[in-house]
Structure 1
Amino acid sequence: MASYSKNRILGLFLVVLLLAPITGAASNAGNITAASTFTTSVNSSTENDLFSELSAQMALYNDNIDNVPSLVKRLVGSEEIAGRIELNSNEMLYVTLLMNGGEVKDFYRYDTPNDPNSKFGPSITVESDEDTIREILDSDYPLRKAVENMNEGSLDVEIEGYFRKTVLWSIQQLYS
């Protein structure tokens, strides 16, 4: 794994960071499934495949955390990142990443647009579709591909806070 360049690690991180927006107040409804134990009985196999692939990317990101620039670690810090991905089957994949010190501490999916475990709501939300996420994952330069998709509008990111918005803007300028 040490052969991954900083660009690849940053790209994988952006996939983690830019999964999809979930807005609104916390809800007590819905089932939550942790990434490490995900199985499907109701949802499509495509969702299971994408969720499993994203889970593997979270592990890869954490394994290479020392290669992640401190600017990126500060961006995600100890944030709650919510994601919403429209799958090719027209189903929705809702996920949350709980970050701590720039590392992914927890990654899970749930059945409702609002994370039933969220106490304050996400500070970073991302929305996209399955094809865009797969395009980024398959790219030789995933960070540049993610920024390209953000600039084209197929990867929408909403960030709270002036500092985090400035950091994201800087990443977009450096990798466009």
Structure 2
Amino acid sequence: MHFSGKNKVLAVLFAALLLMPMAGAVSESGDIREAEFFKAPDEAANGENGLFDELSVKAELYNENFDEVPMLFKRLVGSQEIALQIKQDDENMLYATAIMRGGMVGEFYSYDTPEDPISKFGPSMTVETDEQTVHQILDSEDPLKEAVQSMNEGTLVVEVEGFFRKAVLWTITKLYS
């Protein structure tokens, strides 16, 4: 089988994605216990803290429906720290961090400054957007496709570190546009 230049890159990328192990390595160092994942606080259901509460509830829902999340997206978010910077409708900024564990939300918290006061290493992914774009994505029947459309329009800016994450993000933008 012969591939042209662009198709060769895609073929190699897809082969790499399919062959990479999904989660961690085998360990003989003792008992392995299941990680705890994010659960929204009970008070978040009433939405008193606005957009952050809504995102907290959606993060828990994402974890509950993890089996339905596209594999490429799971690989993109993997196990990393994701910084969110969202300009709210009231002109205030919402700064939040999602600590991902194997593609699921392990921790999710907000803070008042552009720099995460808890972070030890800094984010490997940064997402910048506004509240209206967040609602368009969350309310969409196909949130991933809506997110890609927002990236193409420039209302959602996603910056990732590392060749692998950049390649996965590029692939997502081509498949879901």
Does the 8 A contact of 1:85 with 1:128 survive in 2? yes
Write the mapping of 1:1-176 to structure 2, written as runs, cut at 5 A.
36-37=40-41, 48-176=49-177
Secondary structure at 1:118 match in 2: coil
Output the amino acid matched with 2:175.
L
Q: Which moved more, 1:65-74 or 1:134-143?
A: 65-74
Give the Cα–Cα distance (whole angstroms) in 1 for the partners of residues 39 and 155 of structure 2.
Answer: 25
Give the Cα–Cα distance (whole angstroms) in 2 for the partners of residues 39 and 92 of structure 1.
Answer: 21
Give the superposition deviation at 1:38: 8.9
Unaligned runs of 5+ in 1: 1-33, 41-45
Give the Cα–Cα distance (whole angstroms) in 2 for the partners of residues 68 and 124 of structure 1.
Answer: 19
Give the Cα–Cα distance (whole angstroms) in 1 for the partners of residues 143 and 150 of structure 2.
Answer: 10
Unaligned runs of 5+ in 2: 1-37
Return the structure number with greater relative CO, CA threshold 8 A, min gap 6: 1
TM-score, scaled relative to structure 1 = 0.73
Give the Cα–Cα distance (whole angstroms) in 2 for the partners of residues 86 and 114 of structure 1.
Answer: 15
Between the two proteins, the alignment pairs up a number of residues equal to 139
**Higher alpha-carbon Rg:** 2
Give the superposition deviation at 1:36: 3.6
Does the 8 A contact of 2:78 with 2:102 survive in 1? yes
Output the amino acid matched with 2:172.
I
Percent identity of paired positions between Structure 1 and Structure 2: 58
TM-score, scaled relative to structure 2 = 0.72
Does the 8 A contact of 1:75 with 1:164 survive in 2? yes
Output the amino acid matched with 2:56.
S
CA RMSD of aligned residues (A): 2.3
Does the 8 A contact of 1:84 with 1:95 survive in 2? yes
Give the Cα–Cα distance (whole angstroms) in 2 for the partners of residues 39 and 97 of structure 1.
Answer: 19
Does the 8 A contact of 1:38 with 1:52 survive in 2? no
Does the 8 A contact of 1:35 with 1:52 survive in 2? no
